[in-house]
Amino acid sequence: DKFVKNPADVVRVQQKVAVTVMDVDLNRNRIALSMKAFPGESTQKVKPSAKPQKRQPQTQTGRKKKVPFNNPFADLLGDKLNG
C-alpha cells in the first residue's frame, strides 16, 4: 500500500498480475495502473463506455527536411539528388 518508484522492485518480466486502470493520459501516451485490491471490485465486470475515446492526431514541431520518398541513400547523397 505504498508508491512504487521502480516496478521491477515489486514484479518481474512476464509475471501475470491483476491491475485496475486508474487513469489514461492520451496526450502523454501513459496509463496509471494499481495493483491494490479494492473490496468487492474483483467480481465486478468493467462496462465499456458508450463512446470510445478517439486519439487526437499528434502535431509535429519544427521543420522536416525534404527528401525523396523512401530513399535510404538520401542523407548520403545530399544535394546531388536535388540537382
Q: How far is CA 18 from the centre of its chain?
A: 19
Over residues 31-45, the mean pLDDT reads 67
Tell me how far apart the alpha carbons of residues 19 and 43 are, in angstroms, rounded to a whole number: 13
pLDDT value at position 43?
Answer: 47
Q: What is the dihedral of CA 58, 47, 36, 53, to 10 degrees?
A: 10
Q: Which residue has the higher pLDDT, 10 or 3?
A: 10
pLDDT value at position 35?
Answer: 84
Show Cβ contacts of residue 31 under 8 Å, excluding neighbours closer than 6 positions.
21, 23, 24, 25
In 3D, which of 28, 69, 71, 21 has the Cα closest to residue 48? 21
Mean pLDDT across the chain? 73
Q: How far is CA 24 from the centre of its chain?
A: 10
Per-residue pLDDT band at 32 (split at 50, 70, 90):
confident
